[in-house]
């Protein structure tokens, strides 16, 4: 076998293995990044959907001022929960970047 060494592709087996290992590592990082982005996107979407669903359940009565008070009270409960979900999503985006 000329110049090709013992592999039909040629080259040093150590170099081939090193190249394969580097390729596998880069693919693994790409997959991890895509998973982090998907998690963050789903978390943000969930925060929006849950907030919207909760607000739809509220049936404020009375005049505009009374309705505003009811909605503000609801948001006092909902907003911290939405912020917690968005914070989790942000951590998913920021992790290991």
16 assigned to some structural domain: no
21 assigned to some structural domain: no
Total domain count, the chain: 1
Mean pLDDT split into 10-residue runs, the chain, 97 residues: 53 82 87 83 84 88 93 89 80 62
What number of other Cβ atoms are within 10 A of residue 68's Cβ?
Answer: 12
62 assigned to some structural domain: yes
In angstroms, the CA 68 to CA 78 distance is 15
7 assigned to some structural domain: no
Q: Is 84 helix (H, G, I), strand (E, B) or coil?
A: helix
From 53, 43, 45, select the one nearest 78 (Cα to Cα). 53
Helix crossing, 13-57 with 64-94: angle to 10°?
A: 170
Based on C-alpha coordinates, what's the Rg of the chain? 27
77 assigned to some structural domain: yes
6 assigned to some structural domain: no
Q: Is 22 helix (H, G, I), strand (E, B) or coil?
A: helix
| pLDDT at position 1 | 44
Query: Domain range holding 89?
Result: 35-94
């Amino acid at each position: 076998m000329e110049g090709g060494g013992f592999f039909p592709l040629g080259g040093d087996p150590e170099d081939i293995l090193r190249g394969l290992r580097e390729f596998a590592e880069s693919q693994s990082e790409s997959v991890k990044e895509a998973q982090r982005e998907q998690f963050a996107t789903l978390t943000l979407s969930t925060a929006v959907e849950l907030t919207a669903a909760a607000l739809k359940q509220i049936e404020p009565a009375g005049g505009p001022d009374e309705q505003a008070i009811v909605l503000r009270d609801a948001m006092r409960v909902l907003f911290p929960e939405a912020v917690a979900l968005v914070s989790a999503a942000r951590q998913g985006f920021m992790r290991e970047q």
